[in-house]
Amino acid sequence: MSKYIFFLFSIILLIYLLLPGPTSVENFPPLPNSLKSTEPGDTTQNPNTSAYFSDYYREKVIPFYKNEFKNHFIYFGIKMPNLELNHPPQYASEVIRPYQQSYYLEEFVHPLRESLYINGWEPYDEAGQPRFKYSHGIVVENQAFNTKTTIKYYASPIWVRLVIWVGIALSIVLIFKTSIKVIRGRNG
């Protein structure tokens, strides 16, 4: 019986790891009514990164990208669930780029597969009050914006997923065999 459960689990995990998904950040649309950033670090210098200037605050940005992330993973009419993680803004300099300005950083993740980070820079709140001591407005191409949203997409290659699958399957087999030996040793 346990062999059948293990086999079923292994096949389900393998299918999950092999399902197709987005290949780059370009598969995710820009925020509506936004201007795509051409600042250094927001384009080709930092692969799989895009940034947008807009007037959308966190309350609109996160649901927009959450929905877009889920829409990329619909299989057999079912949206694959994802984890949502809220990180401290300081972590943005590690996952987006060094010296990344950040007010919030959220991540949507499919474990063992891919992650989409959404970083928001909001120097002023919606009432126009500065959030930081030295806040200054965002002006690009003679246009004023309230926010800058940077998205970074990380996807693992198929071969890495297969290595992970083999590692998990072997670990389960070894743990099961070791457990059987321990149980027999105690009873023997």
Q: What sign for the dihedral angle of Cα 59, 64, 69, 70?
A: positive
H helical segments located in 72-156: 92-95
Q: Which two tokens stand for residue 180?
A: 């059987």
Query: What is the per-residue pLDDT across 22-76, written as a single tens digit (0 to 9) for each?
Result: 989 999 999 999 999 998 888 878 899 999 999 999 999 999 999 999 888 878 7
Count CB neighbours of 124 within 10 A.
17
Query: What is the per-residue pLDDT across 97-147, written as a single tens digit (0 to 9) for each?
Result: 998 999 999 999 999 999 999 999 999 888 888 888 888 888 888 999 999
- The DSSP code sequence of 91-103 is GHHHHT-TT---S
What does the alpha-carbon distance between residue 138 and residue 163 come to, in Å, rounded to a whole number? 45
Of all residues in the chain, what percent are helix, strand and coil, respectively (each to 5)? 40, 25, 35
For the chain, what are the domain ranges? 19-156, 158-188
Strand partners, 40: none
What global pTM score does this model have? Answer: 0.88
Tokens 């070791």 sit on residue: 178
